Structure 1
């Protein structure tokens, strides 16, 4: 079984493409009747579905993994633990699951990229859901200690009230599309018509 495409995609840090590559390769291997259970990169495959926010596909993949792999490859189980926390919307638990395992060299960069992506998604969630939030709650969502979380959000323009230990969210300016006035469109049409004739 040739996993060079998966390896090359990981090396190029094109993590958003790994799930499709693994899915297609798994289908190809199954079609060819080749066994893949023992040396299939299940941890990478599972994490790739979490990376593209496809938890349902990850759940189906998890169900198809032989129990011997689940029992003998702790990294596969560790990745699944991340998925369980995602499924339960245990935001702090996702960060704990990421930090709670000593990832292999092969997976370290991918896990770090997923962690960074997840932190950005949580920041966007906070941005859209809150106008103020406690430092402790923000730290939980972002998977950081309180000082790091405070520093992170301050870099995004949020303000801190040290006395109340609250953060004030800086909302992003809403970009509105400029509507074209029908009368302006009519004048433009007449002008172009005049130029052509």
Structure 2
């Protein structure tokens, strides 16, 4: 590995520290394709210091893809990652989050994000952003998929307690009744559904399938 590799890796970690998360996927891809750091199983070395660096960068790369919802890209990254790097605690933890997300096990994904191995301090800002943005994205899907949903169901999907779930729903202006049911403000009335075009109905169906689909293999 080139002596320039630690510098290139530091630049990626500086993006994390600066909160420039949207730049991470492209930066990680560029670094992976460069001769500075190789994840090619046929050429990758197993020196402890190199595995440690590659494991940390692999975790950043996976989390960056998760942040942008690029699950397929994350899966293919993992498949081409050498076994020694896959065994690195940070990389393995990021993969567990990916596996849970792929199987629609939202609560498990959030539990893995919050527990970690624990997470390296350099990754914590990125992990926190993945948690925050994932919850917001899931709330968007809930709002589009459900006319009425129980607060318990919302809390379970978000991996939080009922109090926090109530606060999240109220922050969006969603109505809650005495029985603990939530009425997302984005939910469509029956009249609205009758007026929706075929493409819009298909999109709503996809949201429902995404939230209710049984676990599948990664």
Q: TM-score normalised by the shorter chain: which range applies?
A: 0.7 to 0.9
| CA deviations over 1:40-88 (Å, ceiling 9, x no partner) | 21111111111111111211111122222223x2121111011001111
**Does the alignment pair 1:97 with 2:112?**
yes
Unmatched segments (≥5 aa) in structure 1 = 175-197
Partner of residue 80, structure 2: 64
| CA deviations over 1:159-193 (Å, ceiling 9, x no partner) | 2112x21112122899xxxxxxxxxxxxxxxxxxx
CA distance in 1, matches of 2:112, 2:10: 28
Partner of residue 166, structure 1: 181
CA distance in 1, matches of 2:69, 2:184: 25
Unmatched segments (≥5 aa) in structure 2 = 193-218
Where does 1:49-88 land on structure 2 (aligned, <5 Å)? Answer: 49-71=65-87, 73-88=88-103
CA distance in 2, matches of 1:12, 1:22: 15
Greater CA radius of gyration, 1 or 2? 1
| CA deviations over 1:106-164 (Å, ceiling 9, x no partner) | 111100001000000011001100111101001012221011101111121112112x2
CA distance in 2, matches of 1:42, 1:75: 8
Partner of residue 189, structure 1: none
CA distance in 2, matches of 1:15, 1:94: 19
- Structure scoring higher RCO (CA < 8 A, sep ≥ 6) equals 2
Partner of residue 151, structure 2: 135
| Partner SS state of residue 80, structure 1 | helix
Partner of residue 26, structure 1: 32
Summarize the Cα distance change of 1:170–1:44 in structure 2 as closer, same or farther, 3 Å threshold: same
TM-score normalised by L of structure 2: 0.72
> How many residues were matched structurally?
172
CA distance in 2, matches of 1:128, 1:76: 33
TM-score normalised by L of structure 1: 0.79
